[in-house]
Structure 1
C-alpha cells in the first residue's frame, strides 16, 4: 500500500525525506565514532563526577571483556541492568553491546513477581543491580537461569571520598539499602578489574542482531520483550539527528537526563542520539526529589532537556525553579505521555523555550513523530512523521482513512521492532503483512500531515509516561480472597496525567481500601498501584459478561 506523505512539504528547512540507515552497522560503531571525535569531552555526569568519552570507552571495554572472558557469555546472550540513572548505566550498556550481547533493561522498582517474569521470559544469564534493589534479585534468582549477579553501590564510580560517603549515607543513615546476601555475587568494580586481564576480541555485530529486549506491557497484562535490533536503534538515532539538524551545536550540548535510561525515550533520545554530537548527559538519579533536582539544574548550564508532562509540571511547581539560568537552554522535548497545554504554556513562559511534543512507542525505538524544533508555540499535535517513516490512519478493516477521520494510527519504517521475543502470535497481531505496526492509539491527520492523538484503542492507563495494563492490576487484586470482582481504569490525575482506580465488588464485607492498597504495594511497582479504591455492589457488563471499563471511566 502506497500512501500520500503530505508532511514532507512541511518539514523544517534542511530535514531530509530519507535517512541513511546503513551509515553505521551497529550502536558500538556510533559510539566509536563519538569516542574518536570527542575523546576528551565530558560524556556522562552524575553526583558531581564526570566521565569523558575516553573513560567511557575504556570502562565499557573492560566490562565487555569481563562478560566474554570471565563469564564466557556467547553472542546474543542476555544481560539485565537494574538501576536508576548513574555512571554505571552507560558503562554497562555500552559494554554489553560491544560484547555482542543483548541488554535487558529492568525497572529497579519491580516487585519480585515482575522481576521473576522478566528474567525467566528473557532467559537472562547475568544481571547487574544497584545494592538498593539487590534484595529483590536475591528473592528470585534461584527461579531463573541467571548464572551471575553483579552488584554495585550508587557511589561506586564517583571516586573517593565522595563515593564512600554516598554509599554509607544510603545504607546507614537513609536506610535505603535492605540487607541482602547473594552467594557468588561480584562487585561491579571487581568486574572491571577482571576485564582488564582479558583482551576484548573483535566481535562481529550485524544490523539485525538484537541490541535490546525492551519490555513493555501487553493487552494480556504480561510484559513482553520488544526485540529492538542495532538497525532499529541506529535508524532512530539517524532519524532524530536528521530532525534536530542545525538546532544542535556539536561538542557543546549538555542534556538533562532525568527520565530513567531503562525507559526507551531517555535511552535513545538522550543516551544514544546526543552521544553522536559529543554532548554531556547530566544524569539525574532521583528526579522525584524535586528540590534536589532544581538545585542540580541551578549548578549546571544545560542546553537541552527531555521529559514527560509530570516532570515538567513538577519542576514548574518547585520553589527555586524560577531562579535557574535558562539562557543556554534551546531545546525541550516532551514525550512518553500527552503534554498538557497548560504545562506547555507555563514552560514557555518560565523558560522562554517551546515545549516540543513528540510521539513514540517502545516498538518504534521510540520516535515516530516529532513536531518541528522551530515550533513557535505548543500546538496540541504529536508532530510530523520523522524521515524514512510512513504513518497512516486505518479503520477496523485495515483501510487507509482520509484526512481528518479518526482511526488507528499505524507506523512503518526502519525503527519498527523485529517483533516480540518468543511471541509470534502477538507479533503477527501487532505488525501486519505489509509491515505496518498497529499502535492501538486512535488518531487523525490534518491536511499538512500533522497527527493528533484522540484516544486509546486499548484500555491502557498511562501513569507518568509508563504503561499500566488493567488486566495485570486486576489479576493481582483478584488474588485477594476478599475480592469478588475487580476492574481497573485510568482516571485523570493532575500530577501523573492518569492514576489507577479500582472498582471492586466485595466477597468479604470487611475488606477495606487500605488492605487492597497494601496487597498492591507487595505485588506491583509504584506507578501500577491504585490511587483510588471504590466499592460497588456490581460492575457494568456487556451481555456476554465483559466488564465495561469505559462506563466505569466515564462515571469517574
Structure 2
C-alpha cells in the first residue's frame, strides 16, 4: 500500500519524497525531518504518532506548522492518540484517519483535510470518512446487506478493486463476488449520513462468554499502563471450556527487567482490563520490544502472535508471564 500511496503519488504530483529507515526506533528524527524540509504531508500507523507522544520528551526545535495532513491508517485509529499528538506538538486538525487495502488499490475512505473529526454515538470510534469518489461501500452479515449503524463486514466495489490474487483462484473466490464486490474481512458500519467507521478485523474478534471483544478495546487500556510500550490482545481456543481465553502480550520499555516490577506491571494490567471491560485476561505475557509481529504496513499479525503463544515460540523474548515464571 505504501507503494501506491506514498511512492507513486509524489512523482505524479511533482512533490519531493523523503524516506526514513523502516527500523527507526527513535521517532524524533522523523519529526526533525518534517521540521527541516517544511513537509506538508506525512503518514504513519496510529502507533507511530503514539510513539512520538511517549518517547519525545523535549519538543524544542520541532516545528510541525507546515503540515497540512498527517494520514493515520493501517491499524485502528485512536482518538486519544490524535488528541495527545496534536496537543503535544502544537498542531490542530492535522491527523486524518484513512482506510484502504491493497486489494482495492489502496484508498476506500479518507477523512477530509482540516475538518473536525466525527465520532459514533458511543464515542468509541472515529470515522474514516465517506467513501472516496467512485468507491461503493456496503456492510454485510453473511448474504444480507445491513442498514445504518449495524456492524458487519465491510464490502467494497470500485474500478480499483483487484481482478484476483495471482495464480490463486480459490483465494479469489473466497473474497471476490462475480458482481465485483470485495469482502475486506474488516468489521465496521455506516452511520445515517454514510460515514464509514472501522471497528476491527473479523478474524481477530475474541469470543468471551458469548460477548464479542474487539482487540483494540483491550489494547487501548493496556497501552496506557505505565511501563508498557505496545500491546496486542488475542483469543486462544480452550478445549476445556469450549470458548476462547483472553491473552494479552505487552512489550515493556527498555530497562524494565526487575522481577518484582514486572509482577506489579502484570497485576496492574489485569486490574485495569477487568475494571474497564469486565474480563480478566487468562494470561499476561511481558515481552521485549519489537516482539509483537506486524505486517510491512504496521498491522498487528494477531493470528501469528496466537501461534507464537500456543507453540511456546516466544523463547528469550518472554520476560515474565502471569504464571509467575521468567524465561
User: Matches of 2:66 and 2:190 in 1, distance apart?
Assistant: 34
For residues 434-479 of structure 1, the C-alpha deviation after alignment (integer angstroms, 9 at most, x for no partner) is 1100111221111211011233221389xxxxxxxxxxxxxxxxxx
TM-score (norm. length: structure 2): 0.61
Choose the corresponding residue for 2:160, options 404, 409, 415.
415
Q: Secondary structure at the match of 2:113?
A: coil
The 5 A counterparts of 1:200-215 are none
Choose the corresponding residue for 1:311, options 45, 48, 61.
48
Please say if 1:386 is aligned against 2:132: yes
User: Matches of 2:28 and 2:139 in 1, distance apart?
Assistant: 43
> Conserved in 1, the CA contact under 8 Å of 2:117 and 2:127?
no
The 5 A counterparts of 1:233-272 are 264=1, 266-272=2-8
The structure whose RCO (Cα within 8 Å, separation 6+) is larger is 1
Q: Is the alpha carbon distance of 1:315 and 1:359 closer, same or farther for their aligned partners in structure 2, counting shifts above 3 Å?
A: same
TM-score (norm. length: structure 1): 0.37
> Conserved in 2, the CA contact under 8 Å of 1:499 and 1:531?
no
Deviation at 1:322, TM superposition (A): 5.5
- Point out the more displaced range, 289-298 or 306-315: 289-298
For residues 361-400 of structure 1, the C-alpha deviation after alignment (integer angstroms, 9 at most, x for no partner) is 121121111112231236401211101110011121x222
Choose the corresponding residue for 1:347, options 68, 85, 96.
85
User: Matches of 2:32 and 2:18 in 1, distance apart?
Assistant: 13
More helix by share: 1
Name the count of aligned residue pairs: 231
Deviation at 1:312, TM superposition (A): 0.6
Q: Secondary structure at the match of 2:139?
A: strand
Deviation at 1:534, TM superposition (A): 6.9
Q: Is the alpha carbon distance of 1:340 and 1:363 closer, same or farther for their aligned partners in structure 2, counting shifts above 3 Å?
A: same
Q: Is the alpha carbon distance of 1:425 and 1:324 closer, same or farther for their aligned partners in structure 2, counting shifts above 3 Å?
A: same
Deviation at 1:504, TM superposition (A): 9.5
User: Matches of 1:374 and 1:415 in 2, distance apart?
Assistant: 26
For residues 246-271 of structure 1, the C-alpha deviation after alignment (integer angstroms, 9 at most, x for no partner) is xxxxxxxxxxxxxxxxxx1x222221
Query: What's the Cα RMSD here?
Result: 3.6
Q: Secondary structure at the match of 1:419?
A: coil
> Conserved in 1, the CA contact under 8 Å of 2:68 and 2:113?
no
Deviation at 1:499, TM superposition (A): 5.5
> Conserved in 2, the CA contact under 8 Å of 1:503 and 1:533?
no
Q: Secondary structure at the match of 2:203?
A: coil
Q: Secondary structure at the match of 2:39?
A: coil
> Conserved in 1, the CA contact under 8 Å of 2:98 and 2:128?
yes
Please say if 1:362 is aligned against 2:96: no
> Conserved in 2, the CA contact under 8 Å of 1:390 and 1:412?
yes
Q: Which runs of 5+ in 1 are unaligned?
A: 1-263, 462-488, 506-512, 536-556
User: Matches of 2:294 and 2:194 in 1, distance apart?
Assistant: 40
User: Matches of 1:525 and 1:282 in 2, distance apart?
Assistant: 22
> Conserved in 2, the CA contact under 8 Å of 1:502 and 1:533?
no
Please say if 1:426 is aligned against 2:160: no
Please say if 1:288 is aligned against 2:64: no
Q: Which has the larger radius of gyration?
A: 1
User: Matches of 1:503 and 1:400 in 2, distance apart?
Assistant: 30
Deviation at 1:307, TM superposition (A): 0.7
> Conserved in 2, the CA contact under 8 Å of 1:368 and 1:385?
yes
